[in-house]
Structure 1
Amino acid sequence: MKHPVDVHVGKRVRHRRWTIGMTQQQLAERVGIKFQQIQKYETGTNRVSASRLWDIAEALDVPVAFFFEGMEDKAVATDERGLPKDILADKEALELVRSYYAIPEAQRRRLFELARVLSDVA
């Protein structure tokens, strides 16, 4: 049975890797393991040892504590507005963020302002 902490850590690994546009293969090569092991870590099937988590943190350029952020909030899945607390765990949200940052800055700013106006109306 998967432990909730292992699942959370795995999601955070996937979230960071995906956010910076790194493949499982690339992360595995940087850490010195096979990509299948990364898959198992990301699903929480395999537990990440402390030394391996350290290596993964270095490869993803985050502090080790990054992988545990949000653990204390897991009891409540939404915030006071009803939005998911871990919105970037959603693949669609991550894809939206990556696409957003791929837009040239001037157009991105206009899109941001449009989104703010639309959300104020809703």
Structure 2
Amino acid sequence: MKHPVDVHVGKRVRHRRWMVGMTQQQLAEKVGIKFQQIQKYETGMNRVSASRLWDISDALDVPVAYFFEGLRDTAEEEVSANTTVPGDLLADKEALELIRSYYSIPENQRRRLFDLARVLSDAA
């Protein structure tokens, strides 16, 4: 049975890998393992050891603590019924692509786009 912490850490690995535009194969090569092992980590089927998590954090250029961020909040978000945003928004590839595209826009234009999105969401 999958442990919720292992699932959360795996999702964070997958999200960060997607955010930097890296394939499972590329991450596996940087870490020195086979891509199938990355798949197992990302689904929570296999637990990531401390030393492997250190290697993954180095390859993805984030601190180890990144993989545990939001762990306590995740359960609360899933229980909350007053939100229209899915509890695991970053599991959606379209949302991740949107985020990547958003951050590729120059900062002054990005601020305008953000303001527009806020106005549109308030009007909805």
The normalised TM-score by structure 2 is 0.85
1:41-98 deviation line (CA, Å, top 9, x unaligned): 0011111111000100111111111111111113212568513454223322112112
What amino acid sits opposite 2:101 in the alignment? S
Uncovered stretches (5+) of structure 2, i.e. residues with no partner: none
SS in 1 for 2:56: helix
**Residue range with higher mean Cα deviation, 52-61 or 103-112:** 103-112
Give 4+ residue runs of structure 1 displaced > 6 Å after superposition: none
Q: Which moved more, 1:14-23 or 1:94-103?
A: 94-103
Farther off after superposition, 54-63 or 76-85? 76-85
What residue is the counterpart of 1:73 in the other structure?
Answer: 73
Any stretches of 5+ residues in structure 1 without a counterpart?
none
Are 2:98 and 1:96 equivalent residues in the alignment?
yes
Match of 1:118 among 114, 117, 120: 120
Give percent identity, aligned residues only: 80
- Measured on the aligned residues, the alpha-carbon RMSD in Å equals 2.0
Distance 1:38 1:51 in 2: 14
Which of 54-63 and 86-95 deviates more? 86-95
